[in-house]
Chain A
């Protein structure tokens, strides 16, 4: 197995640990090019299928890294990036170096949190007013935020927030205040995640 499955890229110290990795691998380690470290595990394909289990493992590995040493910064990759060997991967690290540097800079010391607000089946909700109230409460505590797809007509709000680790508690409190105020709505508050929604580095084996 010389193919490398990539979870993300960071510029801290290299890591190596045993865990349940994507595609049945048991060891996660880093492949480095200058000071960029790609977090990888070995895999027998370059086109892994996104099963629920492997998607979960991908997230778990990223979360484990984020929790190391009091909080590391990693630029997360979407599920499914695999390369034929170290050389192909290092070429990508070299080529996308400025993009990775910028992305690391943007998310350093920050985490992603998600908020979905869902209305009851027949409830009538003023979505604009709610959006404004949520913005007033949460935007001052967040570094950035982006709207996500309203994939269900039950969803009134779906947003991702980039929050400083140090502001996490203040953000939790702000969400709790909203939840108390809007007790006729259902809140789904999730995270912390690696900041997928706030990095825009797309890499592929063809590059």
Chain B
């Protein structure tokens, strides 16, 4: 039975890993964050967003992009641990 279990579990683990990787990629979507950064800049330039609001959002987004880059680097090198 050991061999059968092993075979059944392996592909399953593979799918979980893949799903997890996809979920992480979506959560840390660098392109979407960068678009938001540009939108923030545009709305500020048009006078729709105050300087204070613009700066706060910019700092937030830049920090998120930084984290997203780190996550993607780890995904690429396969060093993300699945914690349950």
Report A's interface with B, CB cutoff 8 A: 116, 118, 149, 151-152, 154-155, 186, 188
Contacts and interface: CB of A to CB of B under 8 A. Distances in A.
A149 B32 CA distance: 12
A153 B28 CA distance: 20
Interface of B: 34-35, 38-39, 42-43, 45-46, 48
Contacts of B42: 116, 118, 152, 154-155, 188
A116 B35 CA distance: 15
Contacts of A152: 35, 38-39, 42
B38 A151 contact: yes
A167 B42 CA distance: 27
A158 to B, nearest CB: 9
A151 B46 contact: no
Given A118-B42, A152-B39, A188-B42, 9 more contacts: A116-B42, A151-B34, A151-B38, A151-B39, A152-B35, A152-B38, A152-B42, A154-B39, A154-B42
A154 B39 CA distance: 8
A116 B48 CA distance: 15
Contacts of A188: 42, 45-46
Q: Which of B34, B42, B45, B48: most chain A CB closer than 10 A?
A: B42
Contacts of B35: 149, 151-152
Contacts of A151: 34-35, 38-39
A152 B39 CA distance: 6
Nearest to B45: A188
B55 to A, nearest CB: 11
A188 B38 CA distance: 13
A154 B43 CA distance: 9
A152 B43 CA distance: 10
A73 B46 CA distance: 30
10 contacts: A116-B42, A151-B34, A151-B35, A151-B38, A152-B39, A152-B42, A154-B39, A155-B42, A186-B46, A188-B46
